[in-house]
Amino acid sequence: MFDSLVAVYPTHLQAELAVRKLADNHFDMKHLSIVGRGYHTEEQVTGFYNTGDRVQFWGTRGAFWGGLWGLFFGGMFLTVPVIGQVMVLGYLVSVVVATIEGAVVVGGLSAIGAALFGIGIPRDSVIQYEVALMADSFLVTVHANLADLSRARHLLETTGATGIETHALPEIKAVA
């Protein structure tokens, strides 16, 4: 199992820059994720449709999500109580789906929060990330060994993140 790094970005442009910087530096896209609110209340139609390997988004952030969709292996759009409509691309999709399907409830956390908690992120940090999502920030996550997370942190320090945290899984001690 991998450790995690979470970077918080105030704008979708900064989050996209971070993802592209990691991709350009040969990070495995299967171990990256981006999470953000999908849409805002608009007077125009919002949504997306998928035909084969192509996806078309509508709305104010349509170009942003559509541009990233091709980089990631899977995505989902869901409505999370309190947070609102959320788009998840990448690694975390399977974790969120498993959390929802397994009806895993972690007291007071959303499905996104429960998924983050499930990959070893401490509850206090998860709550901070949920608050960041409610404030319309974006989360870029990297799931890798500590050496790769150190390299990712170095790359992301120049991308305008308001916070970057590495979360190491607690060591499991064998019972003798």
CA distance linking residue 128 with residue 138, whole number of Å = 12
- Domain range for 138 is 3-40+92-167
20 located within any domain:
yes
Q: What pLDDT is attached to residue 1?
A: 63
Counting the structural domains of the chain, the total is 1
10 located within any domain:
yes
At which residue do the structure tokens 């078309």 appear?
A: 56
For the sheet with 75-80, list strands across it.
75-80, 84-90, 32-37, 138-144, 3-9, 163-167
113 located within any domain:
yes
75 located within any domain:
no
80 located within any domain:
no
83-140 confidence digits (pLDDT tens) = 777 778 878 777 777 776 665 555 667 888 888 888 889 999 999 999 999 999 999 9
